[in-house]
Structure 1
């Protein structure tokens, strides 16, 4: 499946794939989390602030310190991007960014219910692009991305449950 994605999509997709992949890397995602915390703090949305802070930190530790070393899956050969390191499974890109984008969608939908479909639709589209791009550039296998989505969604569901109960 991973090879099929590289062969089916045209070479012109490479710059889009690289941009999409790098837009979800740790420094960018970390910056987005930081900006989210600042915005939420500005509006005194302390529960949401705690939810983003703890859930994103938890998913980072879970993926990088527990799951990746446990499964010990090597990355694909011949990546189109440099500076890849560590294990491949599950994708931290997929997990962390799904969590963040879905939490943004949830926060927006709670304040503006009419934007629920649009906000989740945009989040899903971005996640699909990021997943395909991660496979296209050779940073991850399809199974890495799908597992990352599952982990990210599970943490998202737990976080939303916390928010709705408190």
Structure 2
């Protein structure tokens, strides 16, 4: 059995063209529709599913569950993703995978700029049918928590998979990343601070972003990172 070459992407992380293409089409369709001033009827219905019937101000579940959801959403905040990215980049750097570390940081920083730019350009209003149970400071589409958590965690999974060159480790990182991504995105809807299509758009763009980043970082790292 031949030994994998430096920078080789394990099979669970190799971007299949159809997945990022479909995700890209979903994002473009949502962004175009929303930017033109249209909305989706199911957005309202889905948000209300997370609220007490007849009392939109009250999220479902006991107080401890509501607090747990706020804790979960914090993982997708700028602060949460900063520490996650820093830990992953430093670990890669100390293990000798300096291009992987640099590529990861560059991917996350540029994703942050793109997220804020899209919010400003599209300017969608936040949901107004339920009381927000978390503070917000920017426009609604795409969900920054959904996009940045997907772009960051899937890129980290890609970098760890490339460094390990093992399919089992790559798959484990990918599964854990998606569990976090889904929980963070759903928490934004539960807290009433995002329309479901904001989250879907963020997830879609995050898949595209991380697929491109993983392919690019893998090729770049192959030039000099340890084998």
Give how far 1:165 is off: 2.6
For residues 116 and 42 of structure 1, the distance between their equivalents in structure 2, rounded to whole angstroms, comes to 19
**What does 1:105-116 align with in structure 2 at a 5 Å threshold?**
105-110=157-162, 111=164, 112-116=166-170
- Does the Cα contact within 8 Å between 1:5 and 1:132 map onto a contact in 2? no
The separation in 1 between residues aligned to 2:172 and 2:86, in whole angstroms, is 24
CA RMSD across the alignment? 1.8
* Aligned positions of 1:68-147 closer than 5 A: 68-77=119-128, 78-81=131-134, 83-110=135-162, 111=164, 112-147=166-201
Pick closer, same or farther for the CA change 1:35–1:119 going to 2, 3 Å.
closer
Q: Following TM superposition, by how much is the alpha carbon of 1:164 offset from its aligned partner in structure 2, in angstroms? A: 3.1
Show the counterpart of 1:11: 61
> Match of 2:139, SS?
coil
TM-score normalised by structure 1 residue count:
0.89
1:151 correspondence with 2:201: no
SS in 2 for 1:138: coil
Q: 1:116 to 1:39 in 2, by over 3 A?
A: closer
Name the SS for the 1:75 alignment partner: coil
Greater relative CO (CA pairs within 8 A, separation 6+): 2
Of structures 1 and 2, the larger Rg is shown by 2
Count of matched residue positions in the alignment of Structure 1 and Structure 2 = 164
Structure-1 residue corresponding to 2:92: 40
Aligned CA distance change for structure 1 residues 32 and 153 (closer, same or farther; 3 Å) = same
How far 1:136 sits from its partner (Å)? 0.3
Equivalent residue for 1:28, pick from 57, 80, 97: 80
In 1, Cα distance between equivalents of 2:199 and 2:167 = 29
- Verify the 8 A CA contact 2:47 2:195 in the aligned structure 1: yes
- 5+ unaligned residues in a row in structure 1: which ranges? none
Q: Give unmatched runs, 5+ long, in structure 2.
A: 1-45, 54-58, 221-227
**Does 19-28 or 109-118 show the bigger shift?**
109-118
Compare 150-159 and 2-11 and name the one that shifted more: 2-11
Distance 1:22 1:71 in 2: 24
| TM-score, length basis structure 2 | 0.67
Choose 139-148 or 3-12, whichever is displaced more. 3-12
Residue matched to 2:108: 56
